[in-house]
Amino acid sequence: MKNFQINLRGKLIGLSKPLIMAILNVTPDSFYDGGAYFSDNEIKKRVEQIISEGADIIDIGAVSTKPFAAEVTVKEEIERLDKALKIVKSIKSDIYVSVDTFRSEVVKFAVENYDIDIVNDIFAATADEKMMEVIANKRLVYVMMHIKGTPQNMQINPQYDELIPEILKYFSERINKAVHYGINDIIIDPGFGFGKTVEHNYEILSKLEDFQMLERPILVGLSRKSMIYKYLGITPNESLNATSVLNTISLNKGANILRVHDVKEAVEAVKLVEMTKSFSY
């Protein structure tokens, strides 16, 4: 596996050992933890837990992107982010911070007021044509995800002629455009659960190595998703063990970043996989 590096605050961070991106949803309606971290005290406790358990990055989302999620205004998204970012920076000002948004206006606010490091965009700038210009100008790390449709319609009978080739083509086009804008640090996310059936998701996971041909770090977000609990006939609350299993599979197939709700368990998965790889010839 290629030893990728990303530039964070002028420092090259190696990804030979996978990083853990912890999810902090400050929304009332996210699929797993919606409403759990909405007050100042709840956010503070969650941030302290994330840090104590060893996360490398905090990814803050102020708009739910679950299927059929309600739309949120730019103003409301910024207000939610403002509160969360203020708390994060007051607790640990030097932790790497990602903002999960598809709006360039929100990115401008977050970087100018809180000096964020990463933008995690589910639409890869297809929803906001100004996004790549802002990312390039602010010299941010850019996570671009694959999605088919929008959160409001993506799970209504998603279909592909050739699943993996179509997603690879999408990324190739988006990466080329980002490079044209002058974006150097690009991470790809196959978008598990975003315009895919349960079977699509497992096909992507089984062929995750194919995405290495794009020569970009791979972020995987499988944490407690419906591909787990629907297939196993359990609930999101019962999905931690299965999440750890799929995270381990992802690590063995080349994932460079795990985006997770459960930091401690993901850190342990990375440690164990790295230990086994240390004996590889």
Two structure tokens written together for 57: 């990055």
Residue type, 91: I
What does CATH list as the number for 18-276? 3.20.20.20
Q: Annotated catalytic residue: which of 259, 264, 271, 277?
A: 259
pLDDT band at 66 (very low <50, low <70, confident <90, very high): low
- Supply the pLDDT for residue 68: 64
Six-digit token pair at 175?
Answer: 């990466």
Treating both helix axes as pointing N-terminal to C-terminal, what angle do 131-138 and 104-114 enclose, rounded to 10 degrees? 20
- Which residue in the list 92, 225, 253, 271 is annotated as catalytic? 225
Residue 133's pLDDT band (boundaries 50, 70, 90)? very high
pLDDT digits (tens, 9 = 90+) for 18-50: 999 999 998 875 544 445 566 889 899 999 999
Identity of the amino acid at 161: D
- Across the range 162-177, mean pLDDT stands at 98
| CA angle, residues 88, 93, 99, in degrees to nearest 5 | 50
Distance between CA 108 and CA 44 in Å, rounded?
A: 24
Write out the two tokens for 39: 């007050």
What are residue 76's phi and psi, to 5 degrees?
Answer: -70, -40
- Rounded to whole angstroms, the Cα distance separating 60 from 27 reads 10
225 as an active site residue: the answer is yes
**For helices 198-206 and 163-181, what crossing angle results, to 10°?**
70
Whether 259 sits among the annotated catalytic residues: the reply is yes
Span 197-205, mean pLDDT?
97
pTM above 0.85, yes or no: yes
pLDDT at 67 over 70: no
Look at 32 and 6; give whichever has higher pLDDT. Answer: 6
Q: What is the mean pLDDT of residues 100-105?
A: 96
- Unique residue bearing structure tokens 């062929």: 207
Compute the mean pLDDT over every residue in the chain, rounded to the nearest whole number. 92
Give the helix/strand (H/E) hosting 189.
strand 186-189
In terms of DSSP H, where are the helices of 117-262? 131-138, 163-181, 198-206, 226-232, 240-252
User: Using CA atoms, how far apart are residues 28 and 26, in angstroms rounded to an integer?
Assistant: 7
Instruction: Quote the tokens at residue 24.
Output: 């902090």
pLDDT, one tens digit per residue, over 149-169 is: 777 676 788 899 999 999 999
